[in-house]
Amino acid sequence: MDLDTSIKEISRIGISFQRKLQRMGIKTVEDLLWHFPHRYEDFSNIRPISKVKLNETCCVLGKILEIKNSRTWKRKMIITEAIVQDNSSAIKVVWFNQPYLIKTLKEGDVVCLAGKVSFGDKGVFLSSPAYEKIPATNNEQQEFTHTGRIIPVYPETEGLSSRWLRYILKPLLLEFKNKIPEILPQKIIKTENLLPINQAIWQVHFPDSNSEAEKARARFSFEELFLIELSVLKERLRLNKEKAPAIPLNIELIKELVSSLPFKLTDAQRKCAWQILKDLEKPRPMSRLLEGDVGSGKTVVAVIAALNVVKAGFQVAFMAPTEILAKQHFQEVAKLLRPFKVRIALLTGKEDKIISQKLKNEILEISRNKLLDKARKGEIDVLIGTHSLIQDKVKFGNLSFCIIDEQHRFGIEQRARLCRSYGGQAKLIPHLLSMTATPIPRTLALTIYGDLDLSILDEMPKGRKKIITKVIPPEERKGAYDFIRQQVKIGNQIFVICPRIESGIRNQESGIKNRDVLSWAEAKAVKEEYEKLSKKVFPDLKVGMLHGKMASKEKEKVMKNFKAKKIDILVSTSVVEVGIDVPQTTVMMIEGAERFGLAQLYQFRGRVGRSDLQSFCFLFTDSPAKKTRQRLEAIVKAENGFKLAQKDLEIRGPGTLSGVKQWGIPDLAMENLKNLPLVEKTREAARELLDEDADLKKYSFLKERLKKFEKRIHLE
């Protein structure tokens, strides 16, 4: 048996348990050994029964004098009662609805029990304690597993308990004692004062003390962050060895474009555009992330670079996560590049369009086959679309620049699928620009985005007024409705955001995870809110509805009507989080605001305040919780998205930022993504190691582990 052995080969694990483990992503011995506890119970202090105290969780060791089952007729519950005695006293023990215990625990058995001391009708008793049978002849030297020590408590699933995991893991750990290969270089272990792997793996599961548990977790926290840093830095080194078309900077062209714009660029836009243009001049592929608050002008910066690429004779692909956003980019890019005779086309899953140069930039429908043929021949300069751009049928003549909006981790495989052909130029990689309005704290930037260069738009266009943000409790709801009515009367429009489409349905679009059923049942639903607002609150106003389950044409029609002011109030799910731009909208009203992360609320708020009109954001909440109030007040006071993202990281953890949790990053690494000193330390250690041995030839175990690790996580 080795670390790659399937759990199916472990004799103590039956078929039903194999299925349960696989549901948790545990398929091999290594997966099982690396399934770490998420907390510990300290049952190490075994005390005499005479010394136990009411309402205290304690551990006792004694002999069972009697044990029996009885049924309570009122509640139809089976109760197992026992009397356990040691040299000092005796105590009653009660278990609820565990009748099978009477077959396991017999009179005369010596047991170690750990649980809470309670008081009821029959006096003091130990309530539903964890138990462990002790051989009567050897209880002094007993090696405890479930009681009498610091006990690991694991992430569980239905039918798979921490007790069962301890039962499986302990003999497995004994079998692998001193057999797990060390992947960290000895120099790093010594410098960082880390536990060696075989000591750490035992102490993380069955620690001798709380301090040993912490040391073990520190070892694995370092290891997992170190592996992430190695992965992203190796990708950076790999890209530096690749070749890309060197695209010369046409400064006169850029000046002409900038002077044609109906607004003045900010200094931040000029700086970021310059960084990108200088990267494009290099014969190696650019890999850059353009990060900026909603409304900071990322698209204009991307268009400046795109025009320079097109006029150098190359093609540009511009990919967006939704059809709504792709169409919006198509319209905006067409408008900005109208004077420059650029051939622009739109490709989505539902429709295809092209800008006709012959008909003075008129937008025409085009057949899919004709569009694909033009792209392949290089007769389209900028192709804008959704993930449809990376379908097998889509090929480019000489693609040299990819722009990805709100898709920060555009993977190696996806990039390769975009790189079809380059007009005879072999083995060239296109330059890549990712854009995001999700503010990324420094710790995340150094880890998940470690292979990308960062350009930050930290300045908003002139003339934008600060959005007035208020938390609205239930008693102030009517006043907010009155204010909204006044805004509509003066010609402005309103967004209303709800967490879900309809009550009783869980859906991916909500942006909410790990909530219990009750929370979901309480959440405001778009359809219910639409009915309420259109029929009861604002029957005299035009109320519309938008959500992800609507057909594409239906969504487009709603947005067209909203932009044309045929809708006063648009009720929507988080489908409007990214890319919706309606300048005359001045109020963002968010129902169930406590159910969204701060970064997501910030994105919603950025849908208003996109003109010189004063805009407002109302955060509606029925929650009286102090923590909710503190979180929502953070967005009221937020100076910018970066500070808010850091606050969100501190409050909720990285799992809610940028979908990090979906990338399969191990829990210990997730916890420590907010630990900047540790992130910087692991990054430096990874950089030094790669400087010394870029291919990890001297570290075969580390190289093998890194391969497995990269399969397990997916930073894209």
**Which pLDDT score is estimated for 657?**
47
Is the model's pLDDT at 490 over the cut of 90? yes
Is the model's pLDDT at 93 over the cut of 90? yes
Question: Considering the domain boundaries, does residue 270 fall inside one?
Answer: yes
In a shared domain, residues 472 and 602: yes
CA distances from 165 to 162, 317, 355, 601 (A): 5, 50, 62, 39
Among 594, 611, 639, identify where a domain stops: 639
**Which pLDDT score is estimated for 247?**
96
Residue listed under structure tokens 């539902």: 350
Question: Considering the domain boundaries, does residue 484 fall inside one?
Answer: yes
CA distances from 715 to 18, 447, 661, 667, 668 (A): 28, 10, 10, 15, 16
In a shared domain, residues 325 and 387: yes
Q: Is 710 helix (H, G, I), strand (E, B) or coil?
A: helix
Answer yes or no: are the C-beta atoms of 289 and 455 closer than 8 Å: yes
**323-336 helix and 552-563 helix, angle to the nearest 10 degrees:** 50
**Which pLDDT score is estimated for 478?**
92
Q: Which distant-in-sequence residues (6+ apart) come within 8 Å of 95 by Cβ?
A: 79, 80, 101, 128, 129
| pLDDT band, very low/low/confident/very high, at 489 (cuts 50, 70, 90) | very high
Question: Considering the domain boundaries, does residue 218 fall inside one?
Answer: no
In a shared domain, residues 421 and 485: no
Whole-prediction pTM: 0.72
The dihedral formed by the CA atoms of 45, 49, 52 and 58, expressed in degrees to the nearest 10: 40
- Summarize pLDDT for 174-203 with one digit per residue, the tens: 999 889 999 999 999 999 999 999 999 999
β-strands 431-436, 399-405 pairing: parallel
Q: Is 243 helix (H, G, I), strand (E, B) or coil?
A: strand
- Summarize pLDDT for 621-675 with one digit per residue, the tens: 888 877 778 778 888 877 666 677 667 666 655 554 444 444 556 677 777 777 8
| pLDDT band, very low/low/confident/very high, at 424 (cuts 50, 70, 90) | very low
Q: Closest Cα to residue 659, out of 574, 592, 600, 595?
A: 600
Number of independent structural domains in the chain: 3
DSSP 494: E
Among 639, 664, 697, identify where a domain stops: 639
Indicate the residue type of 254.
I
Is the model's pLDDT at 708 over the cut of 80? yes
Distance (Å, whole) CA 330 – CA 352: 11
Question: Considering the domain boundaries, does residue 696 fall inside one?
Answer: no
- Summarize pLDDT for 6-23 with one digit per residue, the tens: 999 998 899 999 999 998
**Which pLDDT score is estimated for 520?**
34
Q: Closest Cα to residue 192, out of 222, 170, 214?
A: 222
Q: What is the separation, in whole angstroms, between the first and last Cα of the chain?
A: 33
Question: Considering the domain boundaries, does residue 163 fall inside one?
Answer: no
Q: What is the rounded average pLDDT for all residues in the chain?
A: 84
In a shared domain, residues 549 and 601: yes
- Summarize pLDDT for 252-281 with one digit per residue, the tens: 999 999 999 988 999 999 999 999 999 999
Distance (Å, whole) CA 289 – CA 456: 8
Least confident interval from 197-211, 434-448, 549-563, 686-700: 434-448
CA distances from 510 to 294, 300, 577 (A): 20, 30, 11
In a shared domain, residues 408 and 480: no
Question: Considering the domain boundaries, does residue 104 fall inside one?
Answer: yes
| pLDDT band, very low/low/confident/very high, at 693 (cuts 50, 70, 90) | very high
In a shared domain, residues 544 and 630: yes
In a shared domain, residues 481 and 421: no
Radius of gyration of the chain from Cα atoms? 31
| pLDDT band, very low/low/confident/very high, at 29 (cuts 50, 70, 90) | very high
In a shared domain, residues 312 and 409: yes
In a shared domain, residues 482 and 430: no
In a shared domain, residues 265 and 327: yes
Among 618, 639, 660, identify where a domain stops: 639
In a shared domain, residues 600 and 507: yes
CATH code of the domain in which 96 resides: 2.40.50.140
Q: Is 482 helix (H, G, I), strand (E, B) or coil?
A: helix
DSSP string, 252-292: HHHHHHHHHSSSPPPHHHHHHHHHHHHHHTSSS--EEEEEE
Question: Considering the domain boundaries, does residue 416 fall inside one?
Answer: yes
The dihedral formed by the CA atoms of 693, 697, 701 and 707, expressed in degrees to the nearest 10: 80
In a shared domain, residues 256 and 379: yes
Structural domain that includes position 505 = 468-639
Helix (H) or strand (E) holding 401: strand 399-405
Question: Considering the domain boundaries, does residue 509 fall inside one?
Answer: yes
DSSP 131: E
Answer yes or no: are the C-beta atoms of 74 and 64 closer than 8 Å: no
Burial 609-619 (b: 16+ CB within 10 A, else e): bbbebebbbbb
CA 690 from centroid of its chain's CA atoms: 28
Q: Closest Cα to residue 597, out of 576, 579, 580, 574?
A: 574
Q: Closest Cα to residue 105, out of 77, 139, 131?
A: 131
CATH code of the domain in which 610 resides: 3.40.50.300
